[in-house]
Amino acid sequence: MNYHWNWGIFLEPSPEGIGTYFDMLMMGLRWTLVTAVLAWIIAVSLGSAVGVLRTLPSRLGVGLGDAYVEFFRNIPLLVQLFLWYFVLPELLPKDLGNWLKTLPNASFWTGAVGVGLFMSARIAEQVKAGIQSLPRGQSMAATALGLTTAQTYIYVLLPMTLRIILPPLTSETLNTLKNTSVALTIGLAELTARTRAMQEYSFQVFEAFTAATVIYLVINALITVVLRRFEKAIAIPGYVAGT
């Protein structure tokens, strides 16, 4: 193999003029994390709302929830990002469209919202399955106590569900993090994009990709450890939750 390894490359200044190649990757990691956090917040809040909607005793609610999930599950994430980034601003009223296009960090906002919506459909599935896994007696008992539907969900069903679905939620959290890399196609300078830029500037392909691999593995491991602890702390006694 006539490939010239040079692990010292990370300490060399990058041609962008701000810091070393290592700093460049770290800047990318920051965008990855910020995007993942915002996408996760969107995914969990919207996903819970849609998941609840799909279990309500209302045909309209269930229909709307199902349509939402089918829409976001059956179109590839990449195509969804293109729709939000290239198509949506053209279809909006002119002023709104122009505002969207000239937004600072537009690819970050589009990426985070796009990944968030994509993941929310998956989380809605988990929430729905979680609510349906509860014994029917729980919601019946709540009704017998005179709680309204809203109160039943807030005080009885959701606190149980969120504790039950935490294990699958952990893996969706990791998926959210990984999916932010797709946003490089709309110009987000996240970790994978910066790795690719480093490779193009320095020609050290394998050092760059090895570094990105290690960074992703470390972040994955950290999230897994923290969430496993959390899972243990709030697991419902007597329930065999997931793994």
Buried b (16+ CB within 10 A) or exposed e, 194-222: bbbbbbebbebeebbeebbeebbeebeee
78, 68, 14, 70: which is closest to 46 by C-alpha?
68
Among 103, 140, 217, 234, binds other proteins (CB under 8 A): 217
Distance CA 96, CA 128 (A): 35
237, 207, 174: which is closest to 32 by C-alpha?
174
Q: Is 132 in the site for other proteins (CB under 8 A)?
A: no
Q: Which is nearer to other proteins, 128 or 161 (CB)?
A: 128
Distance CA 228, CA 171 (A): 11
Site for other proteins in 155-194 (CB under 8 A): 174, 178-182, 184-185, 192
Q: Is 96 in the site for other proteins (CB under 8 A)?
A: no
Q: Is 90 in the site for other proteins (CB under 8 A)?
A: yes
- Smallest gap, in angstroms, from Cβ of residue 18 to other proteins? 24
Q: Is 222 in the site for other proteins (CB under 8 A)?
A: no
Q: Which is nearer to other proteins, 11 or 67 (CB)?
A: 67
CB 212 within 8 A of CB 195: yes
Of the candidate spans 74-82, 123-131, 132-140, 147-155, the one that interacts with other proteins by CB under 8 A turns out to be 74-82
Q: Is 115 in the site for other proteins (CB under 8 A)?
A: no
Pull the structure tokens for residue 211: 């570094």
Q: Is 22 in the site for other proteins (CB under 8 A)?
A: no
